[in-house]
């Protein structure tokens, strides 16, 4: 019976799974979107929402609790100084999962997980811009001499 058993094992040991989710959540807060497999994204959503809830509290105790898993100081400061106030009015649902299809190598179901209210540097990263058509310079046709 599976009473009170939550979470996915993802065919990893407890230590590996914990380290993987710590790294993935840190990357999510640093870049505000990452691409991963769908089961990992669904499981990571739980962790990310808990950390944003801690950041909304903004207390020293909440910062210490988040520091247990988000070890990077820059990301921790971003979480509490930028992301916490950004989601202050939102009661939950801080992340979204966008299904992207299957990976070419092993047909794994891939998804993008991102923060719902992303910041504006998307244009700086080059996302959303249409590629400009390159104009071909017309070279004069070389006349054949017979």
pLDDT tens digits, residue range 103-146? Answer: 999 999 999 999 998 876 654 455 555 555 555 556 665 666 65
Helix, strand, or coil (residue 104): coil
Q: How many CB atoms lie within 10 A of CB 24?
A: 19
* Helices 60-67 + 38-57 axis angle, to 10: 150
Helix, strand, or coil (residue 19): helix
Q: Which CATH superfamily is domain 14-119 in?
A: Ribosomal protein L17 (3.90.1030.10)
Distances (CA, A) of 11 to 17, 41, 109, 135: 9, 15, 16, 51
Average pLDDT estimate for 10-28: 96
The domain locations on the chain are 14-119
Cβ(94)–Cβ(28) below 8 Å: no
Regarding pTM above 0.85, the answer is no
Average pLDDT estimate for 1-19: 92
Burial class (CB in 10 A: 0-12, 13-18, 19+), 94: buried
pLDDT tens digits, residue range 23-51? Answer: 999 999 999 999 999 999 999 999 999 99
Of 103, 99, 63, nearest to 81 by C-alpha is 63
């Amino acid at each position: 019976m599976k009473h009170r058993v939550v979470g996915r094992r993802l065919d990893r040991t407890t230590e590996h799974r914990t380290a993987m989710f710590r790294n993935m959540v840190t990357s999510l807060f640093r870049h505000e979107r990452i691409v991963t497999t769908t089961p990992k994204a669904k499981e990571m959503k739980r962790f990310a929402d808990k950390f944003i809830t801690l950041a909304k509290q903004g207390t020293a105790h909440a910062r210490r609790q988040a520091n247990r898993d988000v070890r990077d100081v820059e990301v921790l400061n971003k979480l509490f100084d930028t992301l916490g106030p950004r989601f202050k009015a939102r009661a939950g649902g801080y992340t979204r999962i966008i299904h992207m299809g299957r990976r070419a190598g092993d047909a794994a179901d891939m998804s993008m997980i991102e923060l719902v209210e992303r910041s504006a540097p998307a244009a700086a990263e080059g996302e959303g811009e249409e590629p400009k058509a390159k104009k071909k310079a017309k070279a004069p046709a070389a006349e054949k001499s017979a």
